[in-house]
Structure 1
Amino acid sequence: MRYVVLQVILKEKLWGTGSGNLTSLEKAINDQAAKGYRLHTITTASSGSKGMIGGGDRIQATLVFESLG
Protein backbone atom coordinates (compact mmCIF):
# COMPACT_ATOMS: atom_id res chain seq x y z
CA MET A 1 0.00 0.00 0.00
CA ARG A 2 1.05 3.56 -0.66
CA TYR A 3 0.22 6.47 1.61
CA VAL A 4 0.32 10.26 1.39
CA VAL A 5 0.43 12.50 4.48
CA LEU A 6 -0.69 16.14 4.30
CA GLN A 7 -1.08 18.91 6.86
CA VAL A 8 -3.71 21.63 6.56
CA ILE A 9 -3.83 24.62 8.90
CA LEU A 10 -7.32 25.89 9.70
CA LYS A 11 -7.50 29.37 11.20
CA GLU A 12 -10.47 30.29 13.33
CA LYS A 13 -12.08 33.66 12.73
CA LEU A 14 -11.16 36.45 15.14
CA TRP A 15 -14.80 37.10 16.00
CA GLY A 16 -17.48 34.47 15.99
CA THR A 17 -17.08 30.77 15.54
CA GLY A 18 -16.22 28.43 12.73
CA SER A 19 -13.22 28.02 10.53
CA GLY A 20 -12.66 30.57 7.82
CA ASN A 21 -11.01 28.08 5.48
CA LEU A 22 -12.72 24.70 5.57
CA THR A 23 -12.57 24.86 1.78
CA SER A 24 -8.80 24.23 1.97
CA LEU A 25 -9.47 21.01 3.88
CA GLU A 26 -12.14 19.98 1.39
CA LYS A 27 -9.81 20.77 -1.53
CA ALA A 28 -7.00 18.65 -0.06
CA ILE A 29 -9.38 15.69 0.32
CA ASN A 30 -10.85 16.08 -3.18
CA ASP A 31 -7.42 16.52 -4.80
CA GLN A 32 -6.17 13.25 -3.29
CA ALA A 33 -9.41 11.44 -4.21
CA ALA A 34 -8.89 12.53 -7.83
CA LYS A 35 -5.42 10.94 -7.67
CA GLY A 36 -6.84 7.61 -6.48
CA TYR A 37 -6.40 7.99 -2.72
CA ARG A 38 -8.98 7.78 0.05
CA LEU A 39 -8.86 9.45 3.44
CA HIS A 40 -7.60 6.85 5.91
CA THR A 41 -7.00 8.88 9.10
CA ILE A 42 -7.34 12.47 10.26
CA THR A 43 -6.05 13.95 13.51
CA THR A 44 -6.15 17.51 14.77
CA ALA A 45 -4.21 19.64 17.20
CA SER A 46 -5.24 23.13 18.23
CA SER A 47 -3.27 26.10 19.47
CA GLY A 48 -4.26 29.59 20.56
CA SER A 49 -2.85 32.66 18.91
CA LYS A 50 -0.84 35.26 20.76
CA GLY A 51 -1.78 38.91 20.66
CA MET A 52 -4.56 40.72 18.88
CA ILE A 53 -3.01 40.86 15.41
CA GLY A 54 -3.87 37.81 13.36
CA GLY A 55 -6.09 36.59 16.22
CA GLY A 56 -8.05 33.40 16.30
CA ASP A 57 -7.07 29.85 17.12
CA ARG A 58 -5.32 27.57 14.69
CA ILE A 59 -6.13 23.93 14.11
CA GLN A 60 -3.55 21.74 12.44
CA ALA A 61 -5.15 18.81 10.65
CA THR A 62 -2.92 15.89 9.65
CA LEU A 63 -4.49 13.72 6.97
CA VAL A 64 -3.31 10.26 5.93
CA PHE A 65 -4.50 9.05 2.54
CA GLU A 66 -4.32 5.44 1.35
CA SER A 67 -3.91 4.43 -2.28
CA LEU A 68 -6.88 2.62 -3.77
CA GLY A 69 -4.75 1.07 -6.51
Structure 2
Amino acid sequence: MDFSDSSTFSTASGKDYHYVVLQVTLKEKFLGTGSGNLTELEEAINHQAQKGYRLHTITTSNGGSKGLMGGDRIQATMVFEKVI
Protein backbone atom coordinates (compact mmCIF):
# COMPACT_ATOMS: atom_id res chain seq x y z
CA MET A 1 0.00 0.00 0.00
CA ASP A 2 1.38 3.42 -1.00
CA PHE A 3 0.45 5.87 1.77
CA SER A 4 1.66 8.85 -0.25
CA ASP A 5 -1.16 8.51 -2.81
CA SER A 6 -2.84 11.90 -2.37
CA SER A 7 -6.16 10.70 -3.80
CA THR A 8 -6.49 8.19 -0.96
CA PHE A 9 -4.26 9.39 1.89
CA SER A 10 -3.24 12.84 3.08
CA THR A 11 0.35 13.76 2.26
CA ALA A 12 0.74 14.70 5.95
CA SER A 13 1.07 10.99 6.77
CA GLY A 14 4.72 11.09 5.77
CA LYS A 15 5.74 13.87 8.18
CA ASP A 16 6.59 13.74 11.88
CA TYR A 17 3.91 15.95 13.47
CA HIS A 18 2.25 15.68 16.87
CA TYR A 19 -1.06 15.19 15.02
CA VAL A 20 -1.59 13.58 11.62
CA VAL A 21 -4.78 13.82 9.57
CA LEU A 22 -5.57 11.11 7.02
CA GLN A 23 -8.53 10.68 4.72
CA VAL A 24 -9.53 7.32 3.25
CA THR A 25 -12.24 6.89 0.63
CA LEU A 26 -14.38 3.85 1.35
CA LYS A 27 -16.11 2.40 -1.68
CA GLU A 28 -19.51 0.76 -1.26
CA LYS A 29 -19.76 -2.75 -2.69
CA PHE A 30 -21.81 -2.96 -5.89
CA LEU A 31 -23.71 -6.00 -4.63
CA GLY A 32 -24.63 -6.31 -0.96
CA THR A 33 -23.87 -3.85 1.79
CA GLY A 34 -20.75 -2.59 3.48
CA SER A 35 -17.47 -1.25 2.24
CA GLY A 36 -15.46 -3.13 -0.33
CA ASN A 37 -12.12 -1.83 0.94
CA LEU A 38 -12.14 -1.85 4.74
CA THR A 39 -8.65 -3.35 4.62
CA GLU A 40 -7.34 0.03 3.36
CA LEU A 41 -8.80 1.71 6.45
CA GLU A 42 -7.34 -0.98 8.70
CA GLU A 43 -3.92 -0.69 7.03
CA ALA A 44 -3.91 3.10 7.43
CA ILE A 45 -4.70 2.82 11.15
CA ASN A 46 -2.09 0.10 11.73
CA HIS A 47 0.53 1.98 9.70
CA GLN A 48 0.12 5.04 11.93
CA ALA A 49 0.19 2.86 15.08
CA GLN A 50 3.54 1.43 13.96
CA LYS A 51 4.84 5.01 13.65
CA GLY A 52 3.80 5.77 17.26
CA TYR A 53 0.39 7.37 16.68
CA ARG A 54 -2.99 6.43 18.12
CA LEU A 55 -6.36 7.10 16.54
CA HIS A 56 -7.80 10.16 18.26
CA THR A 57 -10.91 10.95 16.18
CA ILE A 58 -12.68 9.55 13.12
CA THR A 59 -15.52 11.15 11.18
CA THR A 60 -17.28 10.11 8.01
CA SER A 61 -19.15 11.95 5.28
CA ASN A 62 -20.97 10.75 2.21
CA GLY A 63 -18.89 11.43 -0.90
CA GLY A 64 -21.73 10.64 -3.31
CA SER A 65 -21.86 8.14 -6.14
CA LYS A 66 -19.29 7.68 -8.89
CA GLY A 67 -21.81 6.69 -11.53
CA LEU A 68 -24.46 4.12 -12.30
CA MET A 69 -22.45 1.04 -11.36
CA GLY A 70 -19.80 2.66 -9.14
CA GLY A 71 -21.48 2.54 -5.73
CA ASP A 72 -21.37 5.23 -3.07
CA ARG A 73 -18.19 6.75 -1.64
CA ILE A 74 -17.72 7.53 2.05
CA GLN A 75 -14.88 9.80 3.17
CA ALA A 76 -13.36 8.69 6.49
CA THR A 77 -11.26 11.46 8.04
CA MET A 78 -9.04 10.33 10.89
CA VAL A 79 -6.95 12.34 13.35
CA PHE A 80 -4.01 10.51 14.90
CA GLU A 81 -2.11 11.73 17.96
CA LYS A 82 1.55 11.00 18.64
CA VAL A 83 1.96 8.77 21.71
CA ILE A 84 4.56 10.39 23.95
Scaled by the length of structure 2, the TM-score of the pair is 0.75
Distance 1:34 1:14, change over 3 A: same
Matched, 1:56 2:71: yes
**Match runs of 1:31-50 below 5 Å:** 31-50=47-66
For the aligned residues, what is the CA RMSD?
1.5
Residue segments in structure 2 that go unaligned for 5+ positions in a row: 1-16
Normalized per residue, which structure has more strand? 1
Measure, in 2, the Cα distance between the counterparts of 1:50 and 1:35.
33
CA distance in 2, matches of 1:50, 1:59: 11
Mapped contact 2:66–2:73 kept (Cα < 8 A): no
Q: Give the number of equivalent residue pairs.
A: 68
Residue in structure 2 matched with residue 2 of structure 1 by the alignment: 18
Runs in 1 of length 4+ with deviation above 4 angstroms? none
Where do 5+ consecutive residues of structure 1 fail to align? none
Q: Which has the larger radius of gyration?
A: 1
Q: Percent identity?
A: 74
